[in-house]
Structure formats: C-alpha cells, structure tokens
C-alpha cells in the first residue's frame, strides 16, 4: 500500500529499489547483459551510447494517416524518418553509437526500417540491459520505457509528445 511508504521521496525510492531488484520485462527478450557484453556484440566499446526505443504507435504498424499519429509524433512521418533525423545529428560524431530497438509487437508485421549506417538495430535485447548501458535514451511514441528510464536515472529524449514532456522529465525534440 503506497500510504504505508511515507513521504513521496521515500515512496519513490522504495518503488525504484523494488523495480531494480526485479527488472520486469513484458515481452520475451534476451537475458540481461552488462555494457561490456553489449559493446562486444555491437562494436560500441569506448563510445557514448544513445539507445532509441520504438513503440507500436510510432512504428510501421499504425498508418501515418491515423489521427493519433499526428498528435503523438508531429515531427516525424514514421520511425524511419525519426531515425534518419536523429542519426544525421550524430553523423560526424564517431564517439557516439546509436542502437535502435523496435517495439516487440512490430517484429512480425513490419518492413525493415531504413536505418542510417551509424545506427545499429538490436535483436530483442533485454530493455534493462540497454537502459543501464545507455548514456541517453530516445523514445518515439508513448511507451512505458520512458518511465523505466526515469527509474534508472537515465536521461530521456522524447521524439514525440507524451506525458513526461509536460512535467519536464524529458528533453523534447522541437524541430528536425
């Protein structure tokens, strides 16, 4: 019961600690791996790591004409265009690696995203492995991952409109 946790700071710390001890995952994924294992897999050793998580809403599963798409992602037509814009910002930054993990719901029903050469698509990594390894996380669409990043104390860049933008808990993309 949250009322038994005391003041909000104590309650938050208790919830965060419980979460960190359990590392829940809603979808099948690889086992948790540390940064060194991810670096070995993806060739990212010695680089700052930006991890981008897609969402079902922001990915190819929803037609761009869907009214909610323009509301939640007014800057980008789809995930591929968001990735093109983000990766272009880091094109001349050899010390930055960008990993992209699409939402699991899209695994069997989408065409491949046109990802830039400086972006690596992961294969169902455990989200907590990626969050813990990341220097920054970017999210597209409304996704629970944004809240998980906050529990890990990892800065979030929102590439769309969502709740954490409105309370100042994320960096917001305002133009491309």
Structure tokens of 167? 């309370």
Question: Per residue of the chain (176 residues), what is the pLDDT tens digit?
Answer: 556 778 888 888 888 888 888 888 788 888 999 999 999 999 999 999 999 988 765 444 454 555 555 545 667 777 778 888 889 999 999 999 999 998 887 766 666 667 888 899 998 899 999 999 999 999 887 778 888 888 888 999 888 777 776 677 777 776 65
As a 3-state breakdown, the chain gives helix, strand, coil percent values, each rounded to 5, of 35, 15, 50
Residue 10 to residues 6, 18, 32, 44, 60, Cα–Cα distance (Å): 6, 12, 27, 36, 40
Instruction: Name residues whose C-beta falls within 8 Å of residue 26's C-beta, 6 or more positions apart in sequence.
Output: 144
Q: What is the pTM of this model?
A: 0.82
């Amino acid at each position: 019961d949250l009322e038994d946790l005391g003041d909000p700071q104590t309650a938050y710390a208790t919830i965060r600690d419980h979460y960190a001890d359990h590392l829940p995952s809603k979808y099948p994924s690889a086992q948790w791996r540390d940064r060194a294992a991810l670096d070995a897999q993806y060739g990212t050793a010695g680089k700052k790591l930006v991890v981008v998580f897609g969402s079902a809403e922001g990915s190819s599963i929803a037609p761009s004409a869907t009214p909610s798409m323009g509301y939640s992602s007014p800057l980008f037509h789809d995930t591929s265009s968001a990735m093109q814009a983000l990766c272009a910002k880091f094109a001349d930054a050899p010390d930055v690696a960008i990993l992209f993990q699409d939402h699991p719901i899209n695994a069997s029903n989408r065409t491949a995203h046109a990802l830039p050469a400086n972006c690596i698509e992961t294969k169902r990594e455990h989200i907590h492995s990626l969050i813990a390894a990341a220097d920054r996380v970017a999210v597209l669409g409304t996704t629970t991952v944004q809240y998980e990043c906050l529990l890990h104390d990892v800065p979030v860049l929102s590439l769309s409109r969502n709740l954490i933008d409105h309370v100042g808990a994320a960096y917001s993309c305002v133009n491309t």
